[in-house]
Amino acid sequence: MSKMLVSVIIPVYNEEGNIQILNERLLAVLNKLDEDYQLVYVNDGSMDRSLDLLHALAERDRRVKIINLSRNFGHQLAVTAGLDHCEGDCAVIIDADLQDPPELILELIKKWKEGFQVVYAQRIKRKGESFLKVFTAKVFYRLLKKLANVDIPLDTGDFRLIDRKVLDSLKAMPERNRFIRGMISWIGFRQTSVQYVREKRLSGATNYPLFKMFKFALTGLTSFSLVPLQLASYFGFLVSGFSFLAGLYTIFLKFFTVRTIPGWTSLMIVLLFLGGIQLITLGIIGEYIGRISDEVKQRPPYIIQDKINF
């Protein structure tokens, strides 16, 4: 019986302090398998010595493969590049910061061999992260679960194993604003979880500060929910209703009482309120239109500068 090939996808952006230890831990895990494997590192425009360290690893081991992108395209597109070019019967996605333990890969593969086609790692605790980041992440995942039109598991990142069937389905989805964990949930197939404790980053700074986290959350929400657009409509109807009632009240005061309506104060309150609602609504619509614009341009989602050991 021929051996299966396991591909491990590792996006890398300024991870010079983690690469060597990560590679050693990955090899220690994968060498326990009675399967073939390949490590696909995707250099996402790193500005430190990450690429040099990856070259040294690739020279020593043909199973270490490098995709070097022409610039920084972002985490989701770096993962996409690795998935597009890997050759495995299954693919494991793991970050290079060692917050997700490579040793858990054995559990993911065990579940895969039991017949599951998606095995996602679900965090039960997060070490070394600020209260604000943990709190906002919890709020986001629960908000997304309520609003999304697919069932996206709580407290899961991109650390997961996907079968070749799922991988081929994912490659057939051409969207450029990618929220991979949501896309995999949308694809379906048999899915299960493995729980773990997320460790603190080994070295370096996080590549997802609060602003990037907000943008990523917005991508997830607009990719898998029309609720923001629906809320914009509801706001419009609600404000129109209040405006209509206020108009009737104004007409009543004008023709049936001797009271005068105070001038600019009430007028400014109404104008500012309506203006704020309009700007929020236009902003929501603009987010969706911007994503439509990205799609119709038909630009490639990423550009590869060179590949090694493929």
* Mean pLDDT, residues 93-122 taken together: 90
Which is it for the CA torsion 54, 59, 65, 67, positive or negative? Answer: positive
Question: What is the residue extent of each domain of the chain?
Answer: 5-224+300-308, 227-297
The pLDDT tens digits of the residues spanning 48-69 come to: 999 999 999 999 999 999 999 9
* Mean pLDDT, residues 265-283 taken together: 66
Fold topology of 5-224+300-308: Spore Coat Polysaccharide Biosynthesis Protein SpsA; Chain A (3.90.550)
Give, in order, the Cα–Cα distances in Å from 283 to each of 197, 208, 221, 241, 256: 37, 23, 14, 22, 41
89-93, 141-145, 146-150 — most confident range: 89-93
Give, in order, the Cα–Cα distances in Å from 228 to each of 144, 148, 219, 242, 282: 11, 11, 12, 21, 11
Sheet holding 64-69, edge to edge: 191-198, 118-126, 156-163, 90-93, 5-12, 36-43, 64-69, 304-308
Structure confidence at residue 109 (pLDDT): 92
Structure confidence at residue 181 (pLDDT): 81
27-41, 174-188, 203-217, 264-278 — most confident range: 27-41
Structure confidence at residue 54 (pLDDT): 95
In the predicted structure, residue 283 carries a pLDDT above the cut 80: no
The pLDDT tens digits of the residues spanning 263-272 come to: 545 665 666 6
DSSP class of 199:
P
* Mean pLDDT, residues 2-20 taken together: 90
Give, in order, the Cα–Cα distances in Å from 103 to each of 28, 68, 132, 180, 201: 9, 26, 28, 23, 16
Which residues does 70 contact at the CB level (< 8 Å), separation at least 6? 45, 302, 303, 304, 305
In the predicted structure, residue 171 carries a pLDDT above the cut 60: yes
Structure confidence at residue 68 (pLDDT): 95
Give the Cα separation of 214 and 140 in Å (integer).
9
Beta bridge partners of 65: 40
Share of the chain above pLDDT 70, in %: 63
**Residues 83 and 170 sit within 8 Å (Cβ to Cβ):** yes
Name the pLDDT band for 232 (thresholds 50, 70, 90).
low
Burial, 153: exposed, middle or buried (Cβ in 10 Å; 0-12, 13-18, 19+)?
Answer: middle
Structure confidence at residue 263 (pLDDT): 58
**Residues 156 and 118 sit within 8 Å (Cβ to Cβ):** no
**Which two structure tokens, joined as six digits, stand for 107?**
């559990």
Vertex 182, ends 29 and 231: CA angle to 5°?
155
* Mean pLDDT, residues 111-115 taken together: 91
Residue that wins the pLDDT comparison between 261 and 238: 238
In the predicted structure, residue 135 carries a pLDDT above the cut 80: no
